[in-house]
Amino acid sequence: MKINYKKVLKLVTLLITSMLIAVVSAQVYSYMYIEGSGTITSQELGWELGTTAPSGSKIEGSYVKLLNLSIPQNNPKNFTDCVRIVNNDNTNDYTFSLEIAEVGGNTTKFTTFDLILYNSTSRYATLDVKTKGSSASNLYIGASQTLYIRFEVTPLTDEADGYIYFTVKLTYQSAS
């Protein structure tokens, strides 16, 4: 069997050329760009701990954390100025809604567990914290205004222990 070196050389040359084209093509597609920027802005609406917020509660970004409401046995308790909603924008008004997004624990150990939203003179909304999906919508907060959240909690008579956890979701948008 006779090997034709000219044909083999042409075949190897074509093979190497094909590989070079494939590598160059792959290199072209390996370059992709995103141009953007990031800007730190003030949060329009924000949380603020009130004067009756439980010790250890804290605010981390858009979350109120460690809001552990302790209710004495056989005694209703009102946390009258527990958390505040503050409009940090001094020029724009906002509409918003509140919803009990998650509830767990033993809700039957409490007669009432209400979230009351109010300003200095009147009540805006009441949500039953024991009921997932309890909500209030089309609420309004003016520029630089503060609204207050009060929790009104009544345990069942003679209940020695009980535990409930909840998540309240606030959704807002500019009113203008």
Q: What is the pLDDT of residue 77?
A: 94
Is 89 a residue whose pLDDT tops 60? yes
CA distance from start to end of the chain: 88
Query: How far apart are the C-alpha atoms of 4 and 45, rounded to whole Å?
Result: 81
Residue 4 vs residue 98, higher pLDDT: 98
In sequence order, the 6+-apart residues with CB closer than 8 A to the CB of 122 are none
Q: pLDDT digits over 118-141, tens only? A: 998 899 999 999 999 999 999 999
Out of 23-32, 38-47, 97-106, least confident range: 23-32
Domain ranges of the chain: 1-32, 45-174
In sequence order, the 6+-apart residues with CB closer than 8 A to the CB of 101 are 132, 167, 168, 169
Is 85 a residue whose pLDDT tops 80? yes
Q: 86 and 146 in contact (C-beta within 8 Å)? A: yes
Q: What is the mean pLDDT of residues 161-172?
A: 91
156: confidence class by pLDDT, cuts 50, 70, 90:
very high
Residue 160 vs residue 65, higher pLDDT: 65
Q: Is the dihedral of CA 121, 122, 124, 130 positive or negative?
A: positive
The reply to whether CATH 2.60.40 applies to domain 45-174 is: yes
Q: Is the dihedral of CA 50, 51, 53, 56 positive or negative?
A: positive
Q: What is the mean pLDDT of residues 22-37?
A: 58
The shares of helix, strand and coil residues in the chain, as percent rounded to the nearest 5, are 15, 45, 40
Q: 160 and 119 in contact (C-beta within 8 Å)? A: no
How does the average pLDDT of the chain come out, rounded? Answer: 87
23: confidence class by pLDDT, cuts 50, 70, 90:
low
Residue 35 vs residue 51, higher pLDDT: 51
**Total-model pTM:** 0.75
